[in-house]
Chain A
């Protein structure tokens, strides 16, 4: 018997500002534009929205600011803040809220101006007294500690990481909306400046601006709108720690748990997935999550990514927009994994389109491998 929430809600509209370097705009300007685009995409209006889900790095009270800015009064709201995975937690909560009738039209939204406002990752105020005295580069050193241990345990190499960056750039070169396009060689990546061993500048995601939004409804209502609904087949979330020292095993994330929940709800497994989006804050996280999500065995992520499997023409299309490494990274990138998955399932991706894609998996990470959230989406054919 299928899970009662499988296919119960659908993504009716998406909005993406594609303004990766937009001086003179606030995070809420980016957010508002994305919301307008998402509502126009499905033919709804602001007055229809009665559930608001929002997270913004620079705001401690994003839902309140977003509601005022949009001029809406909502009966259900959720400002869950677990870093870049927040929007996939929102997605799971929106599915549940829609199913229970707590709202009828759920809006998930985000905006950032971190590139044009300063060009550095905007971190939330969250002092860590047991880490701060040692001055790790946040969050790079935490991911470096995970990557170093993975290299030690499994023989993963910097060349493997470089192949992730290359695959991302090759996809970005098929995406006219990607921020970082153009030729890139393995030698250029490998000779990039070391930041926190073994992570170089080329292993780190972009710093951009951006705004994105999703509109969700119960599936029966979403069918009558402008675009074919993309169904939420399964979701799963997990939270394991805050500081990297508190992560039990630095080579296995709680994505193992979030994806198991998502696969169980969707009634599918890794071999059923046509298109994969994983949060690539670093080259290493693509490799790590592909293992944890079940696309290759633990420890074999390096050889998997270096086999060409994830690049255009490979057996598993991963991060087809170019990812956080080459498309965009406004600081909390998670929502963009859903945007690209929906675009692929709509068949709207032009040169980078995965032919016949029916089921997509989007996975997002927050903090320092701390929060994990997986969503499995499908076309009408999967219902």
Chain B
């Protein structure tokens, strides 16, 4: 009895965080059905295949929904971004006032140290809102 070799190696969260620390935004793609999965996991969320490939994300996305969190001294954006690859993630749109973030706005990812590295978005250059 030995562990199933399909699941050898570092776990998906470890792979994701390690890449992020190296300045890379990676997404999982299924080699079988080509679905993209985020957050990462052991198998494809669409078809269950363990044939997963990590690829650099394009960073392109569209705002699916958005809210402004209002604190006494600070307002900030929280958005759900539909990534061009097909997955959805929570993030923040910076570079514009939170009130200017709109559903349907095209955005571009970047990695920022806060101090831990995280993926943030800004409106795409020339992108329509």
* A interacts with B: yes
Q: What is A's interface to B at a CB cutoff of 8 Å?
A: 129-131, 133-137, 141, 144-146, 148-149, 152, 193-199, 243-246, 250
Can you identify 25 A-B contacts, CB atoms within 8 angstroms? A129-B39, A131-B90, A134-B78, A134-B92, A135-B69, A135-B76, A136-B67, A136-B69, A136-B90, A141-B69, A145-B67, A145-B78, A146-B65, A148-B65, A148-B103, A152-B65, A195-B69, A195-B70, A196-B67, A196-B68, A196-B78, A197-B68, A197-B70, A198-B67, A243-B90
Residue count of chain B within 8 Å CB distance of chain A:
23
Are A135 and B39 within 8 A (Cβ)?
Answer: no
* In the complex, chain B residues whose CB is within 8 Å of the CB of A152: 65, 103
Are A145 and B118 within 8 A (Cβ)?
Answer: no
In the complex, per-residue mask of B1-20: 1 if CB is within 8 Å of any chain A CB, else 0: 00000000000010000000
* In the complex, chain A residues whose CB is within 8 Å of the CB of B116: 133
Q: Which of A133, A141, A146 contacts B114 (CB under 8 A)?
A: A133
How far is B67's CA from A133's CA once the two chains are assembled, in angstroms? 15
Interface of chain B: mostly helix, strand, loop or mixed? strand
Tell me the chain B residues, 59-101 only, with Cβ under 8 Å from chain A: 64-70, 76, 78-80, 88-92
How many Å from the CB of A240 to the closest CB on chain B? 13
Are A145 and B80 within 8 A (Cβ)?
Answer: yes
Known: A148-B103, A250-B64, A250-B65. A196 touches B80 (CB 8 A): no
Q: What is B's interface to A at a CB cutoff of 8 Å?
A: 13, 38-39, 64-70, 76, 78-80, 88-92, 103, 114, 116, 118
* In the complex, chain A residues whose CB is within 8 Å of the CB of B68: 194, 196-197
Are B90 and A130 within 8 A (Cβ)?
Answer: yes
Given contacts A194-B70, A196-B78, 13 further A-B contacts (CB under 8 A): A129-B39, A130-B90, A133-B114, A135-B69, A136-B69, A136-B90, A137-B69, A141-B69, A141-B78, A149-B64, A244-B80, A250-B64, A250-B65
Nearest B-chain residue to A152, judged by Cβ: B103
How many Å from the CB of B78 to the closest CB on chain A? 5
* In the complex, chain B residues whose CB is within 8 Å of the CB of A129: 13, 39
* In the complex, chain A residues whose CB is within 8 Å of the CB of B13: 129
Q: Which of B13, B65, B116, B118 has the most A CB atoms < 10 Å from its CB? A: B65
Nearest B-chain residue to A149, judged by Cβ: B65
* In the complex, chain B residues whose CB is within 8 Å of the CB of A194: 68, 70
